Amino acid sequence: MLETGLIFDAALLPAMIVALAAGVLSFLSPCVLPVVPPYLAYMGGVSVSEMEQTASARRRVLIAALFFVLGLSTVFLLLGIAFSTMGRMLIGVQDYFVIGAGLVVMVLGAHFVGVFRIGFLDREMRLDAGDRGGSAFGAYLLGLAFAFGWTPCLGPVLGAILSLAASEADVGRGTVLLGSYAVGLGIPFLLVAAFFPRLHGVMGWMRRHMRQIEAGAGLLLWTVGLMMLTGQFAAFSFWLLERFPFLASVG
């Protein structure tokens, strides 16, 4: 029989992978991807053309992007603590809670695929952090504002990861999941800041195929919800341990 600690580590891995992928999909959403270049330029106190043409401007933007990612990560980590704490409070009915969370995630996935649309998830609310462009502290504040203000737009994907965190009923595990989501959302910002001139074609392709990306995100969420509903995350964890025995030594 496998030790509890080993199962704990292996069981968390698939959820972390899903959270990381969900963060990337959030970056590719219609209300984030199109505004990335001007948003980064504003944070760095430069113009988009300067960011494209000069290395010094890109360095300023990259430093600002680092603090921006720290800001949005702060919010997501706090959300992870809050939702996993809520799940822990409901530990007595955890089986029912996981089933309910799985159903919610499947509904969110169906929204993304386009089976039906949930109106308020198609709206966005942007918070104004004031004239904070061009400073590291201002970029951090903008990261906080971004995480709060774009939450309705990120709702379907973020809601799925928060449901996963709550179903874990463990503060540490929930925080790790939201940290993985923040990494998935934040790393693309840093890549665009560092390599903006080389990414025009890639970002253009993504914008042209936005609907297919959304459908892929919805299919991922629906599958995750089904796995939560049927308990297949545990089965997947055992499969991971069988295929990759080194995971048993993690932690």
Contact between 173 and 121 (Cβ < 8 Å): no
196 DSSP 8-state letter: G
Tokens 């720290």 correspond to 70
Alpha-carbon gap, residue 128 to 217, rounded angstroms: 28
Query: Which of 157, 161, 149, 138 has the alpha carbon at shortest distance from 70?
Result: 138
What pLDDT does residue 149 have? 66
Q: What is the pLDDT of residues 56-99, one digit of tens each?
A: 888 888 999 999 999 989 988 988 888 888 777 766 666 676 67
In a 13 Å sphere around the CA of 182, the CA atoms on its Cβ side amount to: 25
What pLDDT does residue 111 have? 67
Q: What is the pLDDT of residues 24-54, one digit of tens each?
A: 888 887 777 877 888 888 888 888 788 878 8
Helix, strand or coil, per DSSP, at residue 31: coil
What pLDDT does residue 67 have? 93
- Residue spans of the domains in the chain: they are 12-236
Element containing residue 47 per DSSP (H, E): none
The whole-model pTM stands at 0.74
Residues of the chain where predicted confidence (pLDDT) is lower than 50: 1-8, 125-132, 251
Contact between 85 and 162 (Cβ < 8 Å): no
Query: Which of 8, 20, 19, 1 has the alpha carbon at shortest distance from 237?
Result: 8
Query: Which of 30, 63, 31 has the alpha carbon at shortest distance from 44?
Result: 63
